[in-house]
Amino acid sequence: MFKYDKKLEFPVNIKKKDLKMAKYLMTQFGGSNSELAAALRYFSQKFAMPTDEGKALLNDIATEELAHVEIICTMIKQLLTGASIKELEENGLSTQFVEHGYGLYPTDSNGVPFSVTYFNSIGDPVADLAEDMAAEEKARATYESLIDIAKDEDVINILLFLRQREIIHYNRFKTLYEKYKYELKLD
């Protein structure tokens, strides 16, 4: 069902260390509106979709969201490359280091660990798709905030790509939402 191409969906080649940006990006790894939350949300919800089309759409987007997790983690790792413990401390990442060394762990930018309470699967296709559209809009808004504070073009270009994918996902969910809401009789 899944195929791993062993390459990123969008190239990540960040040359400048930026620990603050790495910390901010953590929100898209393990925050409430993160790529990880989206992947798990859509994967869980696909089982309640009443059509093969709906199941396939949620599965496809869930899989792409996992690709986005990989992009975000690669960005964070590259932004942290060569960071000293002192630099980690100066940028509010010392607790991450104490708990996880230079490894990545899903938290938001404040260090709050990922929680499954960030998403829901209620089993009603229309309600779930409405939540999915809202999730994509929140992720888009978060990417726009990240773009606003980013200083490195290498980082900005990746964020612009990810932002655009949120818009595409929203539109795909909206199309299915309207089909289910107005064309299918869901009893």
Domains of the chain, residue spans: 19-182
The pair of three-digit structure tokens given for residue 62, joined into one six-digit string: 């869930």
Contact 148, 42 (CB under 8 A): no
- At residue 59, the pLDDT reads 97
Q: How many CA atoms lie within 13 A of 23 on its CB side?
A: 20
pLDDT tens by residue, 1-59: 567 778 999 999 999 999 999 999 999 999 999 999 999 999 999 999 999 999 999 99
Q: How far are the Cα atoms of 3, 17, 115, 146, 183 from residue 76, in angstroms, in the given order? A: 24, 10, 20, 13, 43
The span from the CA of 92 to the CA of 50, in Å, is: 46
CATH classification code of 19-182: 1.20.1260.10
Nearest 5°: CA angle at 180, between 175 and 183? 100
